[in-house]
Amino acid sequence: MSADSQIQKLLQNHPKGFDLSLGRIRGLLENLGTPHLAIPPVFHIAGTNGKGSTAAFLRAIIEAGDKTTHVHTSPHLVDWVERYRLGKIGGGEFVSDQTLEKAIITASDANGGKQITVFEIMSAVAFILFSQYKADYSIIEVGLGGRFDATNVIDKPLISIITPIALDHQSYLGDTIEKIAFEKAGIIKANAPVIIGPQTDGAREVIEEVAKNQGCKTYIARQDFDGFEQRGRFVFQDEWGLLDLPIPNLKGAHQIDNATTAIAATRVEKFALQNARYEKAMRKAYWPGRFEPLLKGKLIETFPTGQRNDFDIWIDGGHNPAAGAALIHELEELKQKDNLPIFMICGMLTTKDPAAFFNYFTKKIEQVLTVPIVDSEAGFAPEKLSQLCKKSGLVSTPQKSVEEALLKISDLHKGPARIIICGSLYLVGEVLKNNGTPPQ
């Protein structure tokens, strides 16, 4: 047996998706002896974009301060163990397959076959693991929404963090930024400080109102703290002073905002780290599949020998309009430096809005090659996704796989070019798996 075989059993017996409610998870946790009440102090993170990157920066800062932290994020890219990082001195590690399998069996047995979702059981697994292993802190990322997310059984977080909010999962969370903001703000608990990342005015006002009603002190981006690039450095400032830091290791201008939010949370918690510790954290932060260069691996060997050095390949899991805006910004920044033509390989889930994503790329890239998402039944057929690309004014052709799309690009273009593989974290996971470069 293995953790994966246990998860496959869960998937056969329980729904895959989300059923937003806290009753089932609270009942399960009671049967387990309330492990969620015995975990290290929690940084609880909600938002639409930047949750995982903010968690990565937060982890890097904590570890740079010689502290330990558990980390629970979702979804994974290649293997379920990626969702559970156990804190240890010198840097946390993914849970072992054997330890994860044992925790899954414990949670499943305690549930006793009752109706529940797989995400709820796997959230309970995080609480089991984090209560069993010592650490100074816990970082827990919301799965979907906030108010009724399975992680929202945390009644007394150390700090609540809300990253930028945008339109996504409207069928679950509402069809306006303000409605979604209200759901995300559901993680705010009485008297716990709230870090509010960059938001639209409407979203920020909703979050502030919820925090006020809960008696929480708020720290608001652009008002109480700020971060920006200046002369090739990353400058952070708040009421406690200024930090002069290297540009974060994670690529993209939006990562300045994510790093800023994470630093603000640690300053509120009064880590009082020396500047050198923050410098170390900015250089060490790692979060795979988010505007990440693909520098080596089996997929690069797909190209004919004479063309393997011609293509600059990047992967990005962004899939909503805000992510599309951030992605084209970064691609255009790169193009200003080298003027390389851009090709896109894209796969998306049918729960997303392709037109709102593709519209950012109209007249800015050469062609979109659409591919299936093998690891999800909810993926667009390449032919259908290609049609939607064309409606956005893009040149597009469907392909059977990423490998076939790479070969097609090598036929279409001779000479240096940039390739972005994007549209879904599922697709990014497939790429990393097939490339032989899974997250570490």
Residue 234 pLDDT: 97
Torsions phi, psi for 194 (to 5 deg): -120, 125
Whole-model pTM: value is 0.93
Reading the chain (440 residues) residue by residue, the pLDDT tens digits are 699 999 999 988 886 666 778 999 999 999 999 999 999 999 999 999 999 999 999 999 999 999 999 999 999 999 999 999 999 988 899 999 999 999 999 999 999 999 999 999 999 999 999 999 999 999 999 998 889 999 999 999 999 999 999 877 666 677 899 999 999 999 999 999 999 999 999 999 999 999 999 999 999 999 999 999 999 999 999 999 999 999 999 988 899 999 999 999 999 988 767 888 999 999 999 999 999 999 999 998 888 888 888 999 999 998 888 889 999 999 999 999 999 999 999 999 998 889 999 999 999 999 999 999 988 878 999 999 999 999 999 999 999 999 999 999 999 999 999 999 999 999 999 999 999 999 98
Name the segment(s) of the chain with CATH classification 3.40.1190.10. 3-284
CB 258 within 8 A of CB 227: no
Q: Which residues pair with 162 in a beta bridge?
A: 46, 196
Helices and strands per DSSP (H, E), number in the chain: 15, 17
Domain 3-284 has CATH 3.40.1190.10: yes
42 close to 161: Cβ distance less than 8 angstroms? no
CATH topology of domain 292-435: Protein-Tyrosine Phosphatase; Chain A (3.90.190)
CA distance 106 to 131: 13
Report how far Cα 273 is from the mean position of its chain's Cα atoms.
26
Q: What is the pLDDT of residue 359?
A: 95
Distance of CA 246 to the CA centre of its chain: 22
Q: What percent of the chain has pLDDT over 90?
A: 82
Domain with CATH 3.90.190.20 in the chain: 292-435
Cis ω before 75 (30° cut-off from 0) = yes
Phi, psi angles (nearest 5°) of residue 435: -80, -15
- Per-residue model confidence as pLDDT tens digits over 96-135: 999 999 999 999 999 999 999 999 999 999 999 999 999 9
**HEC per residue, 208-241:** HHHHHHCCCCEEEECCCEEEEEECCEEEEEECCE
| Residue 332, both tokens | 């255009």
**In 268-427, at which residue ranges do the beta strands (DSSP E only) sit?**
292-293, 311-316, 342-346, 367-370, 396-398, 417-422
